[in-house]
Amino acid sequence: MIVCVAVVGHQNNPLYLQSFTEADDALKLHHIVHCSLDVIDERVNNPKRSAPTLNETFLGLLYPTENYKVYGYLTNTKVKFIMVTTDLDVKDADARNFFRKFHAAYVDAVSNPFHVPGKKIASRSFGARVSTIVKSFGSGITS
């Protein structure tokens, strides 16, 4: 089950963060998302990266915690997508499919002529679409 998703701008500014648990866990999940930015920066700026991984957008498992697993995705414009899940056996194909849908929803949201680039995403339709994607995670449902 996905407990939190986030979109973080190229300057590590939060653009969207939504948790899908009780309010008690929200602060802990915000902290996990913030900590994952260091892992993403480390992977992206690693000079020993091989040629096939240089253009890979899916970063895979960033790190596991005691109760969660954190996955990452990096766009060509350095916007970061983060997913925090309680599932201990998430398939890479499922995670890739989730990020592909999440990225498409993000592109649609920022393509709105009324959206100001670099500002938080406040679109209700984006939030509803993300919730639908999160609910269908791992079930094989396409949306």
- Contact at 8 Å (CB) between 14 and 119? no
Two tokens at 97? 């499919």
| Cα dist from 37 to 19, 50, 143, whole Å | 17, 21, 28
- Contact at 8 Å (CB) between 106 and 7? yes
86 belongs to a structural domain: yes
Structural domain boundaries, residue 49: 2-136
143 belongs to a structural domain: no
85 belongs to a structural domain: yes
14 belongs to a structural domain: yes
142 belongs to a structural domain: no
Two tokens at 125? 């339709």
Q: How far apart are CA 87 and CA 110, in angstroms?
A: 30
Q: What is the pTM of this model?
A: 0.90
59 belongs to a structural domain: yes
CATH number (domain holding residue 89)? 3.30.450.70
Q: How many domains does the chain contain in total?
A: 1
Q: How far apart are CA 52 and CA 42, in angstroms?
A: 17
Q: How far apart are CA 91 and CA 52, in angstroms?
A: 21
Compute CA 68 distance to the chain's CA centroid, rounded to the nearest angstrom. Answer: 14
| pLDDT by 10s per residue, the chain, length 143 | 999 999 999 999 999 999 998 767 888 999 999 999 999 998 888 767 655 555 678 999 999 988 899 999 999 999 999 999 998 889 999 999 999 999 999 999 999 999 998 899 999 999 999 999 999 997 655 54
